[in-house]
Chain A
Amino acid sequence: MNQTPTDTPVLSPMPEPEIQRGKRFSIVWLIPLVAVLIGCWLVVKTIRETGPTITVVFKSAEGLVPGKTEIKYKDVTVGKVQRIQLSADLTQVYVTAAMSREVSAHLTQDTLFWVVRARLAVGEVSGISTLLSGAYIGMMPGTGGKAIHRFEGREKPPAIFRNTPGRQFNLRAEQLGSLDIGSPVYYRQVKVGRVINVDMAADGTGVSLEIFVEAPYDKQVKRGSRFYNASGLNVKIGADGVRIDTPSLASLLVGGISFFTADNLKTAPPPTANHTFALHDNRDAANAAIFSYREYYLLYFEETVRGLSPGVPVDLYGIKIGEVISIRLLFDQDKLTFRIPVLISIEPDRIELAGELAMPEYNVVEKLVEKGLRAQQRTGNLLTGQCYVSMHFQPEGEPQAIRRDDVYPVLPTIPNAVEEIVATARQMLNRFNDLSLEETLVDIREAAREVKAMTGSNTLESAIKNIDQSFAELKKVTSDLNQGTLPKVNGMLDQARETLARGEQTLATANIVLGEGAPAVYNLNRLLLELQEAARAVEALADYLERHPDSIVFGKGDEG
């Protein structure tokens, strides 16, 4: 070994010093310590952020990608789809998703999940962003309750988010029409809400709808508010003419619901939670239904009811108090007669009351019938032949009582006004026929003879001769009248009657017709003119008759 000779003598005798390595904590261990701390923090953070794993059942997994599709609430990602499986019977799809922790408390029974895809509907375009990004699952957090891990997915998004301020109302309709989930709800043509659910009523007799009216408009819904279907075009031809209702163009296409509150119900309290409103077919129906209490009565007509149809008004003193519900034809097999039972509904609330009620309510109608309340069919619109049912008082008629032996109480009726005129005219003519003119003349002649016997003068004789002659002429005229004019009048009347009948009884009572001045009045006017002429002829005859007896009795003979 070639070691330096200087070092060896110095170092070799010296003992090796014990070198104490500083056992102090090396600063380098801070690095793994920091790593451990970061690691721990990550673990804790991950555990804290990891929420429950849930399964949502969908009908189809269209557009869903495991590991990619997100679950969003208010466009914030709250979970991610992990796995998509088919159910054992291949009818459903189980979508397993990991949810973030912050929503875990809201995964309750009423939490909703739906797949958001691009939706294009008239009046609504949504989810356009999904066209490019692919579908995602929308979530509406539950309001509380027991947390669950299995949900039924919906096919469509809910129309209204749960935390939107506003109120939900229940409606019931005869049929759905063009309404659907998402259809708008209008108040004074302002869009205030949406249809959020549509379902068949449990008993299948109607459709139940849930609508949501946003605050502050929900306060406009009062207990007496009326909802009606504002969809489509509503053309109505009725007793009051032609009417066309057109709502906004959007609701014309997609349908919608409108509601209004009658002025006298503006201060009514808000409806109770489980109140169900009726959804009427149109605004008129809704208007009519303001009076929800109805009484039903049967009317039996024994004449044509052409022009009468369900929905035509029943009026009292010209004011609508109800409407016709149904018309049937009844054949009595025993008597071989036809009768027409007409069911009407009366809304007593339409009539304002004054005074104290002195008798039980159910007796009021009976008393009124005793006072002469009768139902009668009348023509309301001369052009269309629409009829209506008029209730009015006719105290002079034979007293009748309300009958309660049928399904509904039966109100007495009186025949149609046109039939009445015809009957009256015939009675008048019969009376003319019965006028005993000949007897009168014989009486007059006898009287003249007595006068002649009394006076015995020639002048008188010649006068009497003249009278005889006159009487002969008169007789001729009378017979002419009897054989010619009166039958003609009769014929004319019959003809007029036929015209009237052919005009579908569009002619109302003379009063109404004259008052209305409608074109068809012309026919009636003609009838009246002809009647007038006939009357004038009778008058001339009466004049003649009148003058000659005078000359006989008072000696003003020869100027016959």
Chain B
Amino acid sequence: MTCAHAARTAAGAGLFSCHSCSLLVRRPSMTGRVTVRCPRCGARLHLRKPNSITRSWALLIAALIFYIPANLFPVTITSYLGSIQADTIMSGVIFFMQTGSWGIALIIFVASIVVPIAKLIVLGGLLISVQRRSRWRPAERTRLYRITELVGRWSMLDVFVVTVLVALVRLGYLTTIQAGVGVVYFAAVVVITMIAAMTFDPRLIWDVLEKNDESNAH
């Protein structure tokens, strides 16, 4: 079954599929450092996202590094009637839990802690599996990738909350909220993981199967 489907790809047919307008373009025989463009929309044509694995790895590592200060440094600095309290992401979650706001605590916990960690792990796992040419459950892995890409942006929620709070809560001496350094790193983690997810080419998951098919066919 899969063997039959595997051959029906643009790459297998010796064609480019334009990423922008999905026009099928015949793959030229020239190799080396040439730029191939779509005749219809002018987008660059390539079989797979260029340097996908390397770029994804680089971005993933950067995100991983930034994730440490993002969790250690405070994201909000609240001064309430002169007393100053700096909260990291986790202490904020604990604070909401302690004050009984379980819902908010859960949302922040999921959006700011679970999702980024899950993204980092999933992306790392996908990259490793692609590099090891794993044939294990490509469909599930692809779905995982889709979920990752879909959910990743929601981690920005925390950043937005902080930005909105900083902008809104300016009651002078009574209460002021300032953004902490942590939020910058946290935003960096979210953005970089999003880019990493984008640079990752899920077709690489299937390439292994395809090549195996080809080798089987010969």
Binding site for B on A (CB under 8 A): 1, 3, 7, 10-11, 14, 17, 19-20, 22, 26, 28-29, 31-32, 34-36, 38-39, 42, 68, 70, 77, 129-130, 132-134
Question: Which of A20, A39, A77, A133 contacts B65 (CB under 8 A)?
Answer: A39
Given contacts A19-B32, A32-B65, A35-B66, contact A70 B84 (CB under 8 A): yes
Further pairs besides A28-B54, A132-B81: 12, Cβ < 8 Å: A3-B13, A19-B32, A22-B33, A26-B51, A31-B62, A31-B192, A32-B59, A34-B62, A35-B192, A36-B62, A39-B65, A130-B82
A7 touches B14 (CB 8 A): yes
Selected contact of B51 from candidates A19, A28, A42, CB within 8 Å = A28
Query: What is the 8 Å Cβ interface bit string for chain B, positions 57-71, against chain A (1 contact, 0 not)?
Result: 011011101101100
Q: Which of A17, A34, A42, A132 contacts B31 (CB 8 A)?
A: A17
Q: Which residues of B contact A31 (CB under 8 A)?
A: 58-59, 62, 192
The yes or no answer to B9 lying at the interface (CB within 8 A) is no
Cβ A29 vs Cβ B83 within 8 A = no
Verify A32–B69 contact, CB threshold 8 A.
no
Partner of A129, one of B59, B82, B188: B82
Give A135 Cβ to nearest chain B Cβ, in Å: 10
* Chain A, Cβ-Cβ closest to B184: A38
Q: Which residues of A contact B73 (CB under 8 A)?
A: 42
**Are B58 and A132 neighbours in the complex by a CB distance under 8 Å?**
no
**B22 at the binding interface (Cβ < 8 Å):** no
- The answer to whether A28 and B55 touch across the interface, beta carbons within 8 angstroms, is yes
- Identify which of B58, B66, B81 contacts A39 (C-beta below 8 A): B66
Residues in B neighbouring A130, C-beta threshold 8 A: 82
Query: With a CB–CB cut-off of 8 A, which chain A residues contact B192?
Result: 31, 35
Q: Let me know if B99 is at the binding interface, CB within 8 A.
A: no
Closest 4 A/B residue pairs (Cβ): A133-B82, A35-B62, A35-B65, A32-B62
Q: How far is the CA of A29 from the CA of B53 in the complex (A)?
A: 12
Complex contact B66–A38 (CB within 8 A): yes
Q: When each residue 80-108 of chain B gets 1 if its CB lies under 8 Å from chain A and 0 otherwise, what string results?
A: 01111100000000000000000000000
The interface bits of chain B over 10-50 (1 if a CB of A lies within 8 angstroms of the residue's CB, else 0) are: 00011000000000000001011100000000000000000
Check A39 against B59 for contact (C-beta < 8 Å): no
**A32 contacts B58, CB within 8 Å?**
yes
- B65 touching A68, Cβ below 8 Å: no
Q: Which chain A residues border B7 with CB–CB below 8 Å? A: 1
Taking a contact as CB atoms under 8 Å apart, the answer to whether A133 and B69 are in contact is no
Give B203 Cβ to nearest chain A Cβ, in Å: 18
Contacting residues, chain A, for B14 (C-beta < 8 A): 3, 7
- Write the chain B residue with the least CB distance to A77: B84
Q: Which residues of B contact A (CB under 8 A)?
A: 7, 13-14, 29, 31-33, 51, 54-55, 58-59, 61-63, 65-66, 68-69, 73, 81-85, 188, 192, 199
A29 near B68 with CB under 8 A, answer: no
Tell me the bound Cα distance from A523 to B12 in angstroms.
Answer: 146
Q: Chain B residues with Cβ under 8 A from A70's Cβ?
A: 84
Q: List 12 A-B contacts (CB under 8 A).
A: A17-B31, A31-B58, A31-B59, A32-B59, A32-B61, A35-B192, A129-B82, A130-B82, A132-B83, A133-B81, A133-B83, A134-B83
Query: Which residues of chain A come closer than 8 Å to B188, judged between CB atoms?
Result: 35
Q: Is the CB of A68 within 8 A of B82?
A: no
CB distance from A136 to the nearest CB of B (A): 9
A77 surroundings in chain B (CB, below 8 A): 84
Flag if A39 contacts B32 (CB, 8 Å).
no
Measured in the bound complex, the distance between the Cα atoms of B169 and A168 in whole Å is 48
Complex CA gap A133/B81 in Å reads 5
Q: How far is the CA of A29 from the CA of B199 in the complex (A)?
A: 13
Contacts of B32 in A (CB 8 A): 19-20
Instruction: Kindly provide the distance from the CB of B185 to the nearest chain A CB, expressed in whole angstroms.
Output: 8
Complex Cα gap A239–B73 (Å): 78
Who on chain A is nearest to B173 by CB?
A: A132
Residue of B nearest to A46 (CB): B72
Chain B residues lying within 8 Å of A38, measured Cβ to Cβ, are 65-66, 69
CA gap between A207 and B192 in the complex, in Å? 71
Bound Cα distance A35, B54 (Å): 16
Q: How far in angstroms is the closest Cβ of chain A from B79?
A: 9
Give A130 to B83 CA distance when docked, in angstroms: 9
B1 to chain A, nearest CB (A): 17
Q: Are B31 and A19 in contact (CB under 8 A)?
A: yes
A47 to chain B, nearest CB (A): 13
- B82 to chain A: closest CB distance in Å? 3
Q: Check B65–A29 contact: CB distance below 8 A.
A: no
Q: How far is the CB of B211 from chain A (nearest CB, A)?
A: 14
A35 to B193, CA, bound (A): 13
CB of A11 within 8 A of CB of B62, answer no
A449 shortest CB reach to chain B, Å: 126
Shortest CB–CB separation between residue A160 and chain B, in angstroms? Answer: 25
Q: How far is the CA of A133 from the CA of B51 in the complex (A)?
A: 55
Q: How far is the CA of A14 from the CA of B30 in the complex (A)?
A: 12
A3, chain B: closest CB distance, angstroms: 8
**A144 CA / B199 CA spacing, docked (Å):** 58
Give Cα A347–Cα B42 distance, bound, in whole angstroms.
114
Chain B: minimal CB distance from A335 (Å): 81
CB closest chain-B residue, reference A129: B82
- Given A39-B65, A39-B68, check contact A28 B81 (CB 8 Å): no
Give the CA-CA distance A10 to B26 in the complex, in Å: 14
Alpha-carbon separation in the docked complex, A39 to B81 (Å): 34
Q: How far is the CB of A175 from chain B (nearest CB, A)?
A: 41
Q: Which residue of A lies closest to B192 (CB)?
A: A31
Give the CA-CA distance A499 to B152 in the complex, in Å. 115
A20 cross-chain contacts in B, Cβ below 8 A: 32
Closest to B55 in A: A28
Residues from chain A with Cβ under 8 Å of B84 in the complex: 70, 77
Bound Cα distance from A32 to B65, whole angstroms: 8
Choice from B54, B69, B85 contacting A26 with Cβ under 8 Å: B54
- What separation, in Å, do the CA atoms of A129 and B68 have in the docked complex? 36
Contact at B58–A26, with CB atoms within 8 Å?
A: yes
How far, in whole Å, are A70 and B77 apart by their CA atoms in the complex? 14
Whether the pair A26, B55 counts as a contact (CB closer than 8 A) is: yes
A20's nearest neighbour on chain B, judged by CB, is B32
Please give, as numbers and ranges, the residues of chain A lying within 8 Å of B54 by CB-CB distance.
26, 28-29
CA distance A263 to B14 in the complex (A): 114
Cα(A70)–Cα(B82), bound, Å:
12
Distance in angstroms from A45 CB to nearest chain B CB is 10
Q: Which residue of B lies closest to A65 (CB)?
A: B83
**A32–B58 alpha-carbon span in the complex (Å):** 6
Min CB gap B34→A, angstroms: 11
The docked-state distance in angstroms from the alpha carbon of A38 to that of B54 is 21
Given A1-B7, A17-B31, A132 contacting B59 (CB threshold 8 A): no
Q: Nearest Cβ distance between residue B25 and chain A, in whole angstroms?
A: 14
Bound CA–CA A399/B150 (angstroms):
124
In the complex, which of the residues B33, B63, B69 contacts A42, with contact meaning CB atoms closer than 8 Å?
B69
B93 shortest CB reach to chain A, Å: 15
Assess whether B85 is in contact with A11, with CB atoms less than 8 Å apart: no
- Point out the residue from A3, A28, A134 that lies within 8 Å of B58, measured CB to CB: A28
Residue of B nearest to A68 (CB): B85
